[in-house]
Every structure is written in structure tokens, then in C-alpha cells.
Amino acid sequence: MAQAAETRKRGKDSESSNSVTSQPPATNQAMSREQLVKAYGDMLLIRRFEEKAGQLYGMGLIGGFCHLYIGQEAVVVGIQMALSEGDQVITSYRDHGHMLATGMEPRGVMAELTGRSGGYSKGKGGSMHMFSKEKRFFGGHGIVGAQVSLGTGLAMANWYRGNDRVCATYFGDGASSQGQVYESFNLAALMKLPCIYVIENNKYGMGTSLERASASHDLSVNGAPWSIPGAKVDGMDVTAVKAAADVAVAHCRSGAGPYLMEVQTYRYRGHSMSDPAKYRTRDEVQKMRTERDCIEAVRHLLEAAGMGEDEFKAIDAAVKARVQEAADFAQSSPEPDERELWTDVLVEG
């Protein structure tokens, strides 16, 4: 390992100029029209996909836990726009949006939700456990907080190989209480690992608000003891997320070590499909939906930039068609063969 460290191109101690206070996101938050169109389409795909998943769940075609990402689309889309080919992504069970953002096929994700052989895990993983080696998406993890250490390890692989890839490691405000998060922070800071820790602060972990779960309310400074720079980001504004992510990615790629983003967002739906949602008011949800919706915000920017109704309609129609195709596939793809019960337990041979 010492040898691997020597051959590394970056990571000199003197390079770090970590401040421990919240950093404002980069000033230029403008996106080109082309970028805005992409962000709009990507967020819309996630929104429509999740709405469809909710429907299929209601029809009994999806079982178990199913955590929808509706409301949070700007987080993953903004960050993905700052990443490039070869960078890794890992997240929790609320993972459908992340998969679509990394370019995984909606039909493969939806077929996994229905537990069919055409799903990304051949139907064996379900909503919470999906992976794509090709898209460098490392799951889909059901145990709150576990992916934070795993993401640190993905970043370590980059460090070990001496390449300039970074790993985006997503977790929730609730997960930020887990001890292994801070064990990971220490490791990443100590070894200067290129890990972007993204806290998706949607204000609640299940039915518990951040205020009731954490004595630290400003999560962006939770890396302070290890001098991990942190930024607080408006997660309902995809341009702000992208701009902040650009800073984070540049920091990590330069070899300066990990970076923490607290992205403030909101989930419109329940925690999972069976959530009585007594911990927040309808008004609170309604206010976010009408005043802060991330897709609407981009729509306004595009309208201001002169995009016409026809162009919106074309995007909407294309997204709708893709989602419908995914839903059809997820219902027509056969259930896995019984022999699949016994495969993939260990690598054979």
C-alpha cells in the first residue's frame, strides 16, 4: 500500500486548505440552456418514474419496502451533472432516482421493482438493492449508514489506483447519526480519500425530524473535527446543487481529500409506502410543492430563456413514453427461474 501511495499523483499534505465552516456555493450558478434542458428532462424522468412506481405498488405489482424520491430530484441530477465517466455513486434504499441519474435503464430498474428476471438484480434484490457495474452504481443499501463506509472504500479504491476518480456517497439526515459515518470521516480525512459525502437532508428520518434526532443541526459542519470542508446547499435548486457539486468534485479530484455537502431538500411522499405521516402537516408539504418544486423552478428558467410550449411537450411526451415502456416491460418480463434461488450465493469454481 505504501508503494501505491507513492505512485499516486496527488494528495500532498500541504495542498489542503480546508476550512471547517460552511462554504457558500460557487457564485456563478448559471447553467447553459442545454444544461437546463438536460436537468429538466432528467428530473422529470425520475418524477414520472416514481409516480408510476407508486401506482404499480398500489396495484400489488411491487412489494415490500418502496421509498420514493419525489421532491428530491434536483439533488441527484445536479450532482450527477458535476460527475464524469468512471466516478462512483452509492446510496441508501431511496435509490431509484440515483440509478436513473447514473444512466441506468428505467426498464431494468422498474423490472427489479416488480421482482422480474429483467430487473438489474434478476429480481433478487428489489427496490432497495440494485447495482450496475457498468454505470458504476454500487447500490442500493438497506442498512441505514452502511453505505457511508462503503462509499469511503470506493474512494479508497481510487486513491489506491492513483486515478482521479471521485465517489459520491449519499446518505440521509437520519443516517448522519450513525457512528460509522464519523469513523468514515476520520478515515477519509486521514487518507485524503476523494469522497464527496452528500447528506440529503429532507428534514426527516422516517417520522423523526432532524431537530429531534441530532444535537447538531447544521450538518454541513459535521466534518469539522477532521477539517472536512462542508457546504450547505439549496437542494430544490438544481443550478445551486450543480455549482456546489462542481466545487466539491474539483476539491476531491485535486487530491485534497473528502468534501461534505449538506443538501437541503424535501420528500413529498411518505417515508415508504406505508407511512401515516402524522409527524408533519399537509400544509408543510403543500407549501414545498407549490413554492419550491425543483422541476417547476427549472421550467421557469427555461421559459424565461424563451423555450416554447412545444419543446416542453416534446420532452414530457418522451419521458412519459420511456416510463410507460419501463412499466410495460416490468409487467411482461417473466418472474425469475426457480433455479435462480441457488445462483449467486458464492462465485462458483
Partner 1 sequence: MSTQILMPALSPTMTEGKLARWLKKVGEDVRAGDVIAEIETDKATMEVEAVDEGKLSQILVEEGTDGVAVNTPIATLSADGEAASETGAKPGAPAPTAAKQPAPEPLEDRKVVADKAVAAQVTPASTAAAPERDWGPTKPMTVREALRDAMAAEMRADDRVFLLGEEVAQYQGAYKISQGLLDEFGPRRIIDTPITEHGFTGMAVGAAMDGLRPIVEFMTFNFAMQAIDQIINSAAKTLYMSGGQMGCPIVFRGPNGAASRVAAQHSQDYASWYAHCPGLKVVAPWSAADAKGLLRTAIRDPNPVIVLENEILYGQTFECPTDEGFTVPIGKAKVERTGKHVTIVAYSIMVGVAMKAAETLAEQGIEAEVINLRSLRPLDTAAIVESVKKTNRVVTVEEGWPYAGIGAEIAMQVIEHCFDWLDAPPVRVHGLDIPLPYAANLEKLALPQPPWVVDAVKKIV
Ligand X SMILES: Cc1ncc(C[n+]2csc(CCOP(=O)(O)OP(=O)(O)O)c2C)c(N)n1
Binding site for partner 1 (CB under 8 A): 63-65, 112, 115-116, 121, 123-129, 141-145, 174-175, 177-179, 205-208, 212-214, 278-279, 335-336, 338, 340-342, 345
> Is the CB of 92 or the CB of 132 nearer to ligand X?
92
Shortest distance, CB of residue 198 to ligand X, whole angstroms?
12
The answer to whether residues 165 and 150 touch, using CB atoms and an 8 Å cutoff, is: no
| Contact partner at residue 292 from Mg ion, ligand X, partner 1, none, CB < 5 to 8 Å by partner kind | none
Q: How far apart are CA 171 and CA 250, in angstroms?
A: 21
Q: By CB under 6 A, is residue 232 in contact with ligand X?
A: no
Task: Quote the CA–CA distance of 306 and 304 in Å, as a whole number.
Answer: 5
| Residue whose C-alpha is closest to residue 242's, from 210, 198, 296, 203 | 198
SS3 of 122, please?
A: coil
Site string for ligand X, 186-205 (x = CB under 6 A): ----------------x-xx
Q: Give the three-state DSSP class for 130.
A: coil
Nearest residue (CB) to ligand X, 168 versus 247:
168
Contact 136, 88 (CB under 8 A): yes
For residues 83 and 303, the answer to whether their CB atoms sit within 8 Å is no
Query: Using CB under 6 A, which of the segments 77-85, 147-155, 168-176, 295-303 binds ligand X?
Result: 168-176
The rounded distance, in Å, linking the Cα atoms of 192 and 147 is 18
Which residue, 40 or 204, is less far from ligand X as judged by CB?
204
Residue 139 touches ligand X, criterion: CB under 6 A: no
Contact 257, 192 (CB under 8 A): yes
Q: At 132, is the secondary structure helix, strand, or coil? A: strand
- Type and span of the H or E element at 233: strand 230-234
Question: With binding defined as CB under 6 A, does residue 50 bind ligand X?
Answer: no
Q: Is 110 in the site for ligand X (CB under 6 A)?
A: no
Least distance from Mg ion to the Cβ atom of residue 119, Å: 26
Q: Which of 54, 125, 142, 162 binds ligand X (CB under 6 A)?
A: 142
**Amino acid found at 281:** T
Number of residues that bind ligand X (CB under 6 A): 13
Which residues in this chain contact ligand X in the complex, by CB under 6 A? 94, 142-144, 172-175, 202, 204-206, 271
